[in-house]
Structure 1
Amino acid sequence: MIIYINDKPCEAQVGDLLLNAAKRNKSHIGYICGGNAICQSCFVYVLEGADCLSKPGEDEKAFISDQLFAESGRLACRTTIVKEGTIRVLTRAEKFRRIVLGLNVPGFITYAQTIGYNVTTKLPSGVSSIVSRVQTGRLNPVDTVGKIASGLGPASQLAMNNFIETFPFMQMPLDMAGNAAKGALDTASGALCSVSGGRLHLPGSTCTTHDKPAESIERITISTK
Structure 2
Amino acid sequence: MATVIVNDVEMTARPGERILDIARRNSAHIGFVCDGTGFCQTCKVRVLAGAEFLSPPNDREKNWLPDARLQEGWRLGCQASVRGKGPIAVITNAEELRLQAFAAINPPAGSSVATNVSSLITNLTQQSIDQLVGYPWNMLNAIATIGLGRIINPWQSMERFSQWLTDIGKVVEQTLNSPAPAPPSDPLARVRAAAAEVRRASE
TM-score by length of 1: 0.64
* 1:46 partner letter: V
CA contact (8 A) 1:65 1:121 kept: no
Match of 1:71 in 2: 72
Distance of aligned partners of 1:134 and 1:90 in 2 relative to their CA distance in 1, 3 Å threshold = closer
Distance of aligned partners of 1:23 and 1:132 in 2 relative to their CA distance in 1, 3 Å threshold = same
Q: Percent of pairs identical after alignment?
A: 28
Structure with max Cα Rg: 1
CA contact (8 A) 2:37 2:146 kept: no
Match of 1:131 in 2: 143
**Aligned-pair distance for 1:54?**
0.7
Q: Distance in 2 between matches of 1:41 and 1:135?
A: 19
Question: Pairwise mapping of residues 126-205 of structure 1 onto structure 2 (< 5 A)?
Answer: 126-134=138-146, 144-146=155-157, 147=160, 150-155=163-168, 157-159=170-172, 161-162=174-175, 165=178
Q: How many residues align?
A: 167
**Aligned-pair distance for 1:149?**
5.7
Q: Distance in 2 between matches of 1:33 and 1:115?
A: 18
Q: Deviations along 1:96-141, whole A, 9 cap, x unmatched? A: 111111122232122112111122022123311221124599x697
Q: Which has the higher contact order (CA 8 A, sep 6+)?
A: 2
Unpaired runs of 5+ residues, structure 2, are 105-115, 182-203
CA contact (8 A) 2:7 2:90 kept: yes
Q: Distance in 2 between matches of 1:152 and 1:74?
A: 24
Match of 1:10 in 2: 11
Matched, 1:114 2:126: yes
Distance of aligned partners of 1:164 and 1:72 in 2 relative to their CA distance in 1, 3 Å threshold = same
Match of 1:208 in 2: none
Match of 2:28 in 1: 27
Match of 1:204 in 2: none
* 1:151 partner letter: W
* 1:154 partner letter: D
CA contact (8 A) 2:27 2:174 kept: no
* 2:137 partner letter: S
CA contact (8 A) 2:39 2:151 kept: no
Q: Secondary structure at the match of 1:77?
A: coil
Q: Distance in 2 between matches of 1:26 and 1:161?
A: 6
TM-score by length of 2: 0.70
